[in-house]
Chain A
Amino acid sequence: MKQLLWLRVNDEDYEVWVESWKTLLEVLREELDLTGAKEGCQEGYCGACTVLIDGKAVKSCLVLARHAQGRLITTIEGLTKDGQLHPLQQTFIDHFAVQCGFCTPGMILAAKALLDENPDPREEQVKTALSGNLCRCTGYVKIVEAVLAAKEKLPR
């Protein structure tokens, strides 16, 4: 049965009628047209659907949309502020950390969650933090480089 949900996504409020069992990923993509989060496995392994809930990286295919009510949800679409790219978005471009791009939104948000919690991670910490996000194209080298470069650009 459908129920009315209030979701706060990227600083905007949304009201949607959805079935109680719909995941946050499905609601973001199908109801709110926020298609930046990707569906790669629907099982919580690949990380392509990663979004931030209250600043923490979460696999949105594993969260029921109704459980995300009253929380602050950030998707890749909410990362660019006033036309200004987030430093991670810029360093992903500059370091050629993007290939097919399917993992990129989730990867950037997982990296953001890390840098928000630990603004000066070591390389090993970056690799551990990103190990829930699969990428088949890059071999991860340039992604890790981009995250390490972004930490230098964050406002302190």
Chain B
Amino acid sequence: MAELSVVGKSVRRVDALEKVTGKAKFCSDFKTPGMLYAKLLRSPYPHAKIVYIDTSKAVGLPGVKAVITGKDVPPVRIGAVFWDEYILPYDNIVRAIGQPVAAVAALTKEVAEEALDLIDVEYEELPAVFDVEEATKEDPPAILHPDLAQYLSPMPFLKARPEPGRPNIFNHFKIRNGDVERGFQEAELIVENRFSTARIQHCQLETHRCDAWWEPDGTLVLRISSQGLWYDASALRLIFNLSPSKIRVLSSYEGGGFGGKIFTLTGPIAALLALKSGKPVRLEYTREEHFVDGRHRPQIITNIRDGVKKDGTIVAREMTISLDMGRHSSTTAIVSKNCAFGAVGTYRIPNFKLDTYGAYTNNPITGPYRGLGTPEVTWAIEQQMDILAERLGISAIEIRKRNILKEGDRDVCGQVTHSIGVEECLTKVAEWGGRNNKTEEQYPWKQGKGIAIGNKYTLAGTHSVVYVKVYPDARVEVRHGLHEIGQGLNTVLAQIVAEEFQVPVDWVKVTHGDTTLVGYDFCVCSSRATFHTGNATIKACQDAKRQIFETVSAKLGVNPEDLAIRAGEVYVPNWSGKSIKISELFTPEGLVVEKGEILGRGHFYGPIILEDPETGQSERMVTYYAHGACAVEVAVNVETGEVKVLRIAQCYDMGTPINPKMVEAQIEGGTVQGIGSAIYEEIVLERGMVVNPNFMDYKMPTAAEAPSSKNMKALIAAIPHREGPFGAKGLGEATMVPVAPAIANAVYNAVGIRIKDLPISREKIMRALDKIG
């Protein structure tokens, strides 16, 4: 590959100046004249039938402009994958505490809140189920969706597959490869363990929110904090039966996503209130609402049974994974299948069997959270690897190296492995970890070291469309259909455009967040944007350059394919003869006579081959895997159970880094989120009620808990991907995957106790220490 001038350089983020000056606009920094404020009445019961609802007193309150209940909503079920949810309970059933029951729009927030108190609702409580293992039984204490068999699952890349006879399971995904029974017979050691993860929350600093209004021609406009404006547009079209031209979704900068803002929670209700009131409506979740009904990372229970040879070679692995998905499948349906890929993309296993069971419970709604289930499954696998290594008397590094996939290997789903740098990642973090001998321990602190590896797949079967416009001053505008949620996409795309046109990054203008201007894109999810949108951007640049070169070739009398462009000048490489400035192609009005405008279009599709439903086999199950490794040193206080992360390093094989500093920043962010999930964070539920819905009682890491820069290392193993833009892959989610199990392994190394249920709380440590005396 030729020397790159902008890609691969740590150029400053293109959005940083706006953000440090307070000028960057987020969803609720806009004002729409005449706007009403919405509030939601939420269910106090985990499972109940609404027998009576009366809104007349609320409607009569001065300042109230619209009140809606399940009686007012379109009778359409929606969902990100599996269509199982009305926007308010049209079926008069509530399935979790916090589920919206009614909504009010009023002149002020205060009036809207007052009106909620005036809505009379009478419920008849129904039996409820909170434990996922209870829920997945053939005869569970409660059945959440008796009409499950009639629900639609129309997404092209993911079909929900209910399990006949087990009525709360809405998705059962299977992988079968080799002969597991024979594998276990060949094994010299068989080890079985059960691991589980807690519900946690994304804690995006900006809660779910949107503004909605209707234009006189019947167009619905939504300004939203979201990870997928096109995904949201498709949901709203369906609910309101709109033609595709009658929906416009806007977004600005967004205060974090981490998977929780895929598929709108707020849009449909705000839009219906706007329709009823004839006014613009703003709906913002409070922090408490965000904690209660703003989606959680689901609880996942993993049973893992391994058969190994004495040298550490895995000959059989069997996994059963149960997911507590809450009241509806929402976006979490994706997790119920794709969590399995955490068990697919790292190790070579000749005999493999896996079952996931995504089940409804009367707990709050869940969704993907940075990794879509892979961190939870990796929590099990990577502790199991250490357990096996110890039983066999080999090192934690050796057992992993013996079993990891190599370039060209088929994984357990039958896909050929490409761009795998996990061994290099492991070597790099182990080297870094080995550099430091334990500092002297001081009672009551005991120190330990741990490692873990892992992968994160990127979803296959999605599209990106990008437009690139060239201006007479040779500035280039890229219009993309995704969001800048902090991940740095605007900077990445600006670098790609700058590279393609050989201009400085500040000659590139990035436009996003308006479906009437930008191209279709699936969603900011699954670490797919750099790869998919980046590839579409390259194609759009090439299309724009083709248009320029065609125009220039006629003027210079050369072939278009002999032309190149740099700094706004079109020239013939290695020929000092002729060149022409972009500006010379345009008339004073800013027009290219031959073409009108220079507007390039690029489309990229990451192909998918749907798996065999009985075996989970597919040549192209995922677009690619990113891999990584984590090494960590902890100190455990044997008097209090406190765990401190002393030093931590992570390394990732995310292909060619488009912007190395931003890669480093992503890894650091994922590291600290991983630490939070390992040690501090847990949504505590009591019979379906969140008892800690605030930042005081839900403890996410602050600067005080984060390791300092000298003790946190972000490393890169730049293994290019043949289909990636300049060889790049995605990174964002992978960075959280191995952190929690690495910490658990280090805790074991420090004090000899193995915590199998997240989080590694002080209470669990003290209890375990008590047991071993």
B-contacting residues of A (Cβ < 8 Å)?
Answer: 29, 34-43, 45-46, 48, 75-77, 79-80, 85, 88-90, 92-94, 96, 98-105, 108, 123, 126-128, 130-145
Chain A residue with Cβ nearest B710? A123
B253 x A45 contact (CB < 8 A): no
Give complex CA distance A39, B488 in Å: 22
6 pairs of residues in contact across A and B, judged by CB atoms under 8 Å: A29-B29, A36-B23, A38-B206, A76-B22, A100-B254, A141-B712
Chain A residue with Cβ nearest B16? A93
A36 x B22 contact (CB < 8 A): yes
Given contacts A43-B287, A89-B20, contact A101 B706 (CB under 8 A): no
A-contacting residues of B (Cβ < 8 Å)?
Answer: 10, 12-13, 15-26, 28-29, 202-207, 253-256, 258, 286-287, 485-488, 661-662, 664-665, 668-673, 694-696, 700-704, 706-709, 712
A101 x B255 contact (CB < 8 A): yes
Given contacts A75-B22, A136-B673, A142-B665, contact A98 B15 (CB under 8 A): yes
B287 x A141 contact (CB < 8 A): no
Give complex CA distance A45, B22 in Å: 20
B695 x A85 contact (CB < 8 A): no
Chain A residues with CB under 8 Å of B661's CB are 96
A99 x B665 contact (CB < 8 A): yes
Interface centre among A46, A79, A128, A141 (most CB of B within 10 A): A141
A102 x B16 contact (CB < 8 A): no
A59 to chain B, nearest CB (A): 12
Chain B residues with CB under 8 Å of A101's CB are 15, 18-19, 24, 26, 253, 255, 486
Give complex CA distance A127, B256 in Å: 22
Chain A residues with CB under 8 Å of B205's CB are 38, 40, 46, 48, 100, 102-103, 134-136
A130 x B702 contact (CB < 8 A): yes
B202 x A104 contact (CB < 8 A): no
Give complex CA distance A103, B28 in Å: 15
A88 to chain B, nearest CB (A): 8
Give complex CA distance A131, B703 in Å: 5
Task: Select which of A127, A134, A141 is within 8 A of B695 by beta carbon.
Answer: A134
B499 to chain A, nearest CB (A): 20
Give complex CA distance A45, B206 in Å: 13
Q: Is the interface of A mostly helix, strand, loop or mixed?
A: loop
B255 x A138 contact (CB < 8 A): no
Chain B residues with CB under 8 Å of A141's CB are 668, 672, 706-709, 712
A-B pairs, top 5 by smallest CB distance, nearest first, are: A36-B22, A100-B486, A102-B255, A101-B19, A139-B672
Chain B residues with CB under 8 Å of A79's CB are 21-22
B202 x A136 contact (CB < 8 A): yes
Chain B residues with CB under 8 Å of A128's CB are 703-704
Q: Is the interface of B mostly helix, strand, loop or mixed?
A: loop
Chain A residues with CB under 8 Å of B24's CB are 101
Given contacts A75-B22, A105-B22, contact A139 B706 (CB under 8 A): yes
Q: Apart from A96-B664, A99-B669, A139-B706, what are 10 other A-B pairs with CB-CB below 8 Å?
A: A35-B29, A39-B28, A46-B287, A96-B12, A96-B665, A101-B255, A131-B704, A134-B700, A140-B703, A141-B712
Give complex CA distance A35, B651 in Å: 38
Q: How many residue pairs between the two chains, A and B, have CB atoms under 8 Å in the bound complex?
A: 177
Chain A residues with CB under 8 Å of B287's CB are 40-43, 45-46
Give complex CA distance A40, B291 in Å: 12
Give complex CA distance A77, B19 in Å: 11
B488 to chain A, nearest CB (A): 7
Task: Select which of B10, B254, B696 is within 8 A of A45 by beta carbon.
Answer: B696
Interface centre among A76, A123, A138 (most CB of B within 10 A): A138
A96 x B22 contact (CB < 8 A): no
A99 x B673 contact (CB < 8 A): no
B54 to chain A, nearest CB (A): 30
Chain A residue with Cβ nearest B19? A101
Chain A residue with Cβ nearest B22? A36
A100 x B485 contact (CB < 8 A): yes
Chain A residues with CB under 8 Å of B12's CB are 93-94, 96
A7 to chain B, nearest CB (A): 17
Task: Select which of B25, B256, B668, B703 is within 8 A of A136 by beta carbon.
Answer: B256
Give complex CA distance A18, B694 in Å: 28
Chain A residues with CB under 8 Å of B694's CB are 41, 43, 45
B695 x A45 contact (CB < 8 A): yes
Give complex CA distance A137, B203 in Å: 10
Given contacts A123-B708, A136-B203, A136-B205, contact A92 B22 (CB under 8 A): no
A77 x B21 contact (CB < 8 A): yes
Chain A residues with CB under 8 Å of B671's CB are 139
Interface centre among B23, B254, B670 (most CB of A within 10 A): B23
B22 x A102 contact (CB < 8 A): no
Chain A residues with CB under 8 Å of B204's CB are 100, 102, 136
A87 to chain B, nearest CB (A): 11
Give complex CA distance A75, B23 in Å: 12
Give complex CA distance A20, B676 in Å: 39
Interface centre among B25, B696, B709 (most CB of A within 10 A): B709
Give complex CA distance A40, B256 in Å: 11
B700 x A136 contact (CB < 8 A): yes
A16 to chain B, nearest CB (A): 15
Give complex CA distance A71, B706 in Å: 34
Give complex CA distance A105, B62 in Å: 37
Give complex CA distance A99, B661 in Å: 12
B695 x A41 contact (CB < 8 A): yes
B20 x A143 contact (CB < 8 A): no
Chain A residue with Cβ nearest B712? A141
